[in-house]
Amino acid sequence: MAKATTPRNQSQLRKEEARRRASKRQQQRLLTRVGAIGAIMLGLVVGIWWYTSAGSPTEASGQAVHQFNTNDFHSLAFDSEESDTLYFGHHGGLKVSHNGGESWEDTALEGVDAMQLAVPGGDSDRMYAAGHDVFYVSTDGGETWRSQPNNLPGLDLHSLAGSSSDPLRLYTVPAGQGIFTSADGGETWEAVTMPPGGERAAIALAVASGDPMHLYAGVGKRLVESTDGGMTWQEHSGPPGTIVTLTVSPSDPATLYAGTDQGLFERSDDGSWQRLPVETSGVVLAVAASLSDPERIAIVDQQGNLYRSDDGGQAWGQ
C-alpha cells in the first residue's frame, strides 16, 4: 500500500508547492501595483501642496491701509490727475484722502448719499455723485456741489460710470428702469439696450479707457461688452462669483478688475480671469484704478477695509 500511494502524495506536494509559488508571485505583483499607485498619489499631493502654497496666484498678501468707520461702504474713485488723491462715498457723504488712502477727511458733500462716484478724465474739475434720489455734479474739483436737473425716469441710481476720455459721457441704471446714457454731463439722457438678464440682476458698469462708447457691464455672474454705447451687447465669461463692482485698466481696455463675493479678479487680454492675491473680509464692494498711475489699484471690502496695490495687483499694503 505504501508503494502504491507514494507517487500520488508526491504529485499533490508538487501541486501545492506550485500553488504557493503562484500565490506569492501574485502577492508581489499586487504590492508592486499598490506601491506605484501610492507613489503617484504622493506626487499629486506634493504637487497640489506646492501649487497652493508656493505657486498659486491666489496666495493672499498685504494688510489694509485703512478701515472706515462709516455705517456703509459703497464707492471709490481716484482723482483723475493725482494718484495719491482718493474719494470714498457712503450714504452719509463723500470723504477724500490725499496720501493714498492712509487718512481721510470729509468733503463739502455731506449728508448726501454718495453711493456711486464718477471722476472722469479730460476735466480735472468735474465730478459726479449718485445714489438714492441723488444726482449731484461738481465743476470745481469737489469744492461745491449742486443737484443736476435731468430727464431720467427715476433717481434711485445704483450704478454710474463716466468716461476717462470724455468728461460729459455718462452711463447709469435707474432701479427697474433700464440703462441710460448722457452726452452732456447728465442733463439729458437716452435709453440704451438692457443687456440679457439685466432685468433680474444688479448691474455694475465701467467704461473702457480711450473710447467713451466702449462699455462693460457685470450682470450677476456674467460679463457683457458693448462697443456702441450700449446699443448692442456681446457676452463673455465672467469671474467666479457675482460681480458687484467693475473697473477697466486705464492702460489696457481689455483688462478689467471685478470685485465679487469671492474676492478680487483680473481679466487678461485673452479673456481669462485670475484671482488677485489680496485677502479681503467678505465681498469686494468697490474697486478703482488710477488714470495717472495705472499700476495703482484700490478696493474696499464689506468690513470697510481699504487695500491698495502699487504694482497692478500683485502686492497689497502701504
Query: Phi and psi of 299, rounded to 5°?
Result: -140, 160
Model pLDDT, residue 21: 58
> C-alpha 164: how far from its chain's center?
20
| pLDDT classification of 9: cutoffs 50, 70, 90 | low
User: What percentage of residues in the chain have a pLDDT greater than 90?
Assistant: 73
Mean pLDDT across 284-291: 96
Model pLDDT, residue 200: 83
Mean pLDDT across 282-289: 96
Q: How many CB atoms lie within 10 A of CB 77?
A: 28
Cα separation values, 82 from 1, 99, 217, 233, Å:
113, 10, 26, 33
Model pLDDT, residue 14: 53
Count how many Cα atoms sit within 13 Å of the Cα of residue 166 in the half-sphere of its side chain: 19
Residue 235 and residue 224 in contact, taking contact as beta carbons nearer than 8 Å: yes
47-72: buried (b, 16+ CB within 10 Å) or exposed (e) per residue? eeeeeeeeeeeeeeebebbbebeeee
Model pLDDT, residue 61: 58
**Helix, strand, coil % in the chain, rounded to nearest 5:** 20, 35, 45
Q: How do residues 11-57 score in pLDDT, each as one tens digit?
A: 555 556 555 555 555 555 544 444 444 433 333 333 333 333 333 34
Q: How do residues 53-71 score in pLDDT, each as one tens digit?
A: 333 344 445 689 999 999 9
Give me the torsion for CA of 20, 26, 30, 36, rounded to 10°: 120
> C-alpha 124: how far from its chain's center?
27
Residue 183 and residue 190 in contact, taking contact as beta carbons nearer than 8 Å: no
Q: Which one, of 116, 120, 122, lies nearest residue 160 by Cα?
A: 116
**Lookup: cell for 168:** 460729459
Residue 229 and residue 251 in contact, taking contact as beta carbons nearer than 8 Å: no
**Is the pLDDT assigned to residue 192 strictly greater than 90?**
yes
- Mean pLDDT (the chain) is 85
Mean pLDDT across 219-235: 96
**Lookup: cell for 288:** 478703482
Entry pTM: 0.80
Residue 88 and residue 300 in contact, taking contact as beta carbons nearer than 8 Å: yes
Q: Is 249 helix (H, G, I), strand (E, B) or coil?
A: coil
- Please give the residue that has the higher pLDDT: either 177 or 2: 177
Residue 139's Cβ-count burial label (10 Å; 0-12, 13-18, 19+) is middle
**Lookup: cell for 225:** 461688452
| pLDDT classification of 272: cutoffs 50, 70, 90 | very high
Mean pLDDT across 233-237: 95
Mean pLDDT across 268-274: 92
**Lookup: cell for 103:** 487718512
> C-alpha 154: how far from its chain's center?
28
> Which positions ≥6 away from 265 have C-beta within 8 Å?
239, 240, 241, 257, 258, 273, 274, 275, 276
Of 13-17, 43-47, 189-193, 194-198, the poorest mean pLDDT is in 43-47
**Lookup: cell for 216:** 462693460
Rounded CA gap, 288 and 281, in Å? 18
Q: How do residues 82-124 score in pLDDT, each as one tens digit?
A: 999 999 999 999 999 999 999 999 999 999 999 999 999 889 8
**Lookup: cell for 256:** 478689467
